[in-house]
Chain A
Amino acid sequence: MEAAMDLMRRMPPTQVDTALSSLLLLLPQYSSELLSRVDQPLQVAWDAECLKHYLLCDYNRDGDSYRSPWSCKYFPSLEDGAQPSDQLRKLEVEANEIFAIYRDHRYYEGGISSVYLWEPEIGGGFAACFLIKKDGSEDGQGRRGLLQHGLWDAIHVLEVGEEDEGLAHYRLTSTVMLSFTTKDAPSVSFSLSGSITREMQADLSVAEGHLTNMGRMIEEMEGKLRNGLDQVYFGKTKEVVFTLREPLGSLTATSATGQSLQQVVMDDILRK
């Protein structure tokens, strides 16, 4: 199983699907563990009743059907599909509405979002997952026409503990999967893809409600992840390229020009 996870860390992120499918075929006995541990881009389904798209994950699945957060119905339809309690469903509806505004009008200018709530099997409290999928490709919802292809998938899973003296414990695990291809120069193709996962915990007062707390944590986390991707990951890959091939005539300690200059200076000093 660890060998399988090692493979997933090395395969090109754009081929996550093929890699995962292959592993499931080779290791059928580990399929549930693989499906829960490996991050995959989110799949989209259509809610025929509310006429809206919704996102699929393990938490809204029952058998082969998936529950829509809008109509709360399963597609393909299911007789006795698992449903959240009335109280949770109320919070779920609110969460979906607010998250849609956060997504559409603030940060993502489009995209699809879904929020699912459930009660964990052990322990009190509840859990929630907030999902966002944004397609920024030219023929997707990219407004500026800069990306030939661009996908952002965010998966935030929150575990909320029971209320204790006005406070609750929140644990957030977030993964962002990103892939895009730019089309700057006609003969040059440039494509970056990958994923990054982080965790965050906090004890917060429930005075303003769970939704406010969860929302703020997610907003902060998304900002951190976006910056992380920007600086660390893209900065790092750029570093790799420029250590492979240095710009000619560059004056650094290790470049050829730098080395020969050092040599000249040393020779001068020694001669004196």
Chain B
Amino acid sequence: MCLAFSLFMPLLSLFLFSRDDRSAHEVSVDRSTMAEHILEDEEEGLEVTDEQKIGLATWFLLKSPPGEIQQVAKSIRGVLMDERLFDMAAKEAFPKYNMEQMIAIDLADHSGQVLLTKYGAIDVSQHLDPRTAQVAVIDHVKQVCTDVRPAADDELPSAFVEEHRASIDNELVKYVEEAFPKGNCAVYCTCGKDVESGGDEFELKAVISATKFSAQNFYSGSWRSVWKIQVNQELQTVEINGKINVIAHYFEEGNVQLETSSECSNSTLLQSPADTGVAVVNVIQYLESDYLGVLEESYSKVSDNSFKELRRKLPVTRTRFSWNNALQLSLSREITKELSLTR
């Protein structure tokens, strides 16, 4: 056992080196760099401190594929074999994970659902649902809502901003219902919530989140799009910037994951709240459909071209390799090479 362990240490630096190339496209998380530091430090001693164990456990939890965090939690519990350490890791990882993945939780009074995002977080365990102007109290580790209360006035935007927010929200709900079989959405005011008509700019964030998990079909996936909507009253424009993130995980007899993301933007004119709502959601709809088209194309290209870059389906000769002739071929190559050198 010690032999395998000591073999491992010199390879650690190799592992870290080879991984850097691949991390360019992943969403960066604080804990992933902490894991690297822990692994670097480990070159010195063989003992892992409790603090480091919590760090590693948190890393695993945060990297869970969509809808799989409870399973990952169960396995991490089995690996750690220490409830106290697990609880500390869970306390740290679950809130981050829930907000990053934009999980939808049923409200305690069964009146609907609330999306957990960093935009609607009043504090870690209190989340605003702008549509119903309620605040939900959340237990992150259990992923449930334990209480609901109406939102206070200072937690909500001004009536003017609210008009725009609500209009975009209405249109967004229609779009999401049509395009996302299991989608949820919300629109938050993230900047300038007290702005009045004829005043400054304000910013809204429209968020769409859809997750699917099927253990019997061995797959899970999530779509998260965040659209920043900047309303400039002076210029009468609306700037729309979006980030879309999609993950798919298939795990029958293996582990295959797709990770794709896109950044896009557009703009439109500021009109009446009702018309602006329609215009903004039209832009979102258009850009998202466009992205879907690019994905479709990527998939077909992968099969034809990208794969070939790694391994051809058939050799250039279009016949199978003749294993018993290969040596003769290489011998004749060597002889011709030598002949040409002596010439």
Show the binding face of A for B, using Cβ within 8 Å.
Answer: 2-4, 6-15, 17-19, 21-29, 31-32, 35, 41, 43, 61, 63-64, 94, 97-98, 101-102, 105-109, 134, 136-137, 142-144, 146-147, 149-152, 178-182, 184-185, 187-197, 208-209, 211-212, 215-216, 219, 222-223, 226, 229-230, 233-234, 236-248, 254, 256-257
Contacts and interface: CB of A to CB of B under 8 A. Distances in A.
B83 interface: no
Contacts, number: 322
B341 interface: no
Given A182-B298, A248-B285, A197 B254 contact: yes
Contacts of B264: 187
A46 B223 CA distance: 43
Interface residues of B, number: 114
B294 A12 contact: no
Contacts of A212: 323-324
B79 A178 contact: no
Interface of B: 1, 3-8, 10-12, 14-16, 18-19, 21-26, 32, 35-36, 38-39, 42, 46, 48, 52-53, 56-57, 59-60, 63-65, 68, 71-72, 74-80, 177-183, 210-212, 219-223, 246, 248-251, 253-264, 285, 288-289, 291-292, 294-299, 301-303, 305-313, 315-317, 320-321, 323-324, 326-327, 329-330
A236 B19 contact: no
30 contacts: A14-B19, A14-B22, A14-B257, A21-B8, A26-B48, A61-B7, A64-B7, A101-B329, A108-B312, A144-B305, A144-B308, A146-B309, A184-B298, A187-B263, A191-B260, A192-B258, A211-B324, A216-B320, A226-B313, A234-B299, A237-B256, A238-B258, A239-B219, A240-B250, A241-B246, A241-B258, A243-B221, A244-B181, A247-B292, A257-B178
- Give the interface centre of A64, A150, A197, A240 by most chain B CB atoms within 10 Å: A240
B279 to A, nearest CB: 17
B294 A184 contact: yes
B153 to A, nearest CB: 36
Nearest to B10: A64
Given A152-B311, A240-B250, A12 B259 contact: yes
A246 B179 contact: yes
Contacts of B219: 236-237, 239-240
A237 B179 CA distance: 18
A257 B178 CA distance: 8
